[in-house]
Amino acid sequence: MYQDKVVLCASSAYKKKYWLNDDFKALPEQIKQELKIMCVLYTEDIGGVLTLEFEEDGSLVFRVDSNEGDYLFDDIGSVLKIKELQRTKAELLEALEIYYRVFFLNEDASELL
């Protein structure tokens, strides 16, 4: 069904906007809110654009971009904040990966748990 990378959500410090892919509107409201809070707080603290993407194998990755010449973007803080999010939100991120692999890649849920 899906090839390459699929964007789950994105937040931009430049446009002051958050976006959730419509393909994921079936996620529980609490999960959608947690994603929004996580992404918006990241871009407010660090700057740039944060995108959460699913790789071909179903793993969820954080992608960060910043405008060239954006001297307010915190490169070091970005790496540290992503590591912190991966640690503190590990359960959420793992659940999202399982959700994606079952509902989008049609993998057997019993084999993933």
DSSP H helices in the chain: 29-46, 75-88, 90-103, 109-112
Residue 18 lies in a domain: yes
Distance from C-alpha of 86 to C-alpha of 6, rounded to nearest angstrom: 19
Number of domains in the chain: 1
Distance from C-alpha of 43 to C-alpha of 22, rounded to nearest angstrom: 21
b (16+ CB within 10 A) / e for 39-60: bbebbeebbbbbbbbbeeebeb
Distance from C-alpha of 65 to C-alpha of 83, rounded to nearest angstrom: 16
For helices 75-88 and 29-46, angle between their N-to-C axes, nearest 10 degrees: 160
Residue 113 lies in a domain: no
pLDDT at residue 3 is higher than 80 = no
Q: What pTM did the predictor assign?
A: 0.92
- R_g (Cα) of the chain, nearest Å: 14
Residue 15 lies in a domain: yes
Residue 112 lies in a domain: no
Residue 1 lies in a domain: no
Residue 48 lies in a domain: yes
Task: Give the range of the structural domain holding residue 64, as residue numbers without chain letter.
Answer: 6-107
| 23-79 pLDDT per residue, tens | 999 999 999 999 999 999 999 999 999 999 999 999 999 999 999 989 999 999 999
